[in-house]
Amino acid sequence: MYKFQCIKATNGGQTYPPSPTVDQLPIHFSGRLTFQALRMSTPARKRLMRDFKRLQQDPPAGISGAPYDNNIMLWNAVIFGPDDTPWDGGTFKLTLQFSEDYPNKPPTVRFISRMFHPNIYADGSICLDILQNQWSPIYDVAAILTSIQSLLCDPNPNSPANSEAARLFSENKREYNRKVREIVEQSWTAD
């Protein structure tokens, strides 16, 4: 039986806050993964267990993720806003839904937290090439979350999911950054 623990990640002297504990989140970050959850030991489930173990043993800075309760096919994750960016200090929650075709097909990834970003739709869906036409089975959960974290700072306004955010990013960076800071502040109190 595995117990999920939130960890404090560091990045060359920069320390990210530890992920909230289970009792601080409305979503279950610390369920128990039992043998029953893996009763159908499919290639997708085996790969997800490997991804989870890797993420726990060598977590990239600023991201955290774990399966939800006994469901290895559904994950909750947190991305911390990168330092020295408008996203700095934010704590953004996501879900990752995997199919039995993983890793041959990407998961469905969606922000739970409210976002204001050129490549994030109003429903939290993400317009990111590696989650669509550039997907490769070599990507694991850590790579997915790291890519999304990078997207926060390096949006593609030419492929907008949010036209207002794309317009402000291109034409009025000051106003764009102000709106991002509002989202960051909301992330501190959002459930």
Q: What percent of the chain has pLDDT over 90?
A: 75
Name the DSSP class of 191: -
Q: What is the pLDDT of residues 18-70, one digit of tens each?
A: 444 333 444 444 444 554 444 568 999 999 999 999 999 999 999 999 999 98
| pLDDT tier at 190, thresholds 50, 70, 90 | low
CATH of the domain at 134: 3.10.110.10
Instruction: Provide the pLDDT for residue 191.
Output: 61
The share of the chain scoring above pLDDT 70, in percent, equals 78
For the entire predicted model, the pTM comes to: 0.80
Nearest to 125 by CA among 133, 115, 134: 115
Q: Any idea which residues carry the catalytic annotation?
A: 127
Q: How many domains does the chain have?
A: 1
Residue 159 pLDDT more than 80? yes
Phi-psi category of 95—alpha, beta or left, where left has phi over 0 and alpha has psi -120 to 50? Answer: beta
Burial annotation 79-115 (CB, 10 A radius, 16+ → b, else e): bbbbeeebbebbbbbbbbebeeebbeebbebbbbbeb
The confidence band for 75, taking pLDDT boundaries of 50, 70 and 90, is: very high
Which structure tokens are listed for 14?
């920069």
What range defines the domain where residue 148 resides? 2-189
Alpha helix locations (H) across the chain? 43-57, 141-153, 163-171, 173-189
- Structure confidence by residue, pLDDT tens digits, 86-96: 999 999 999 99
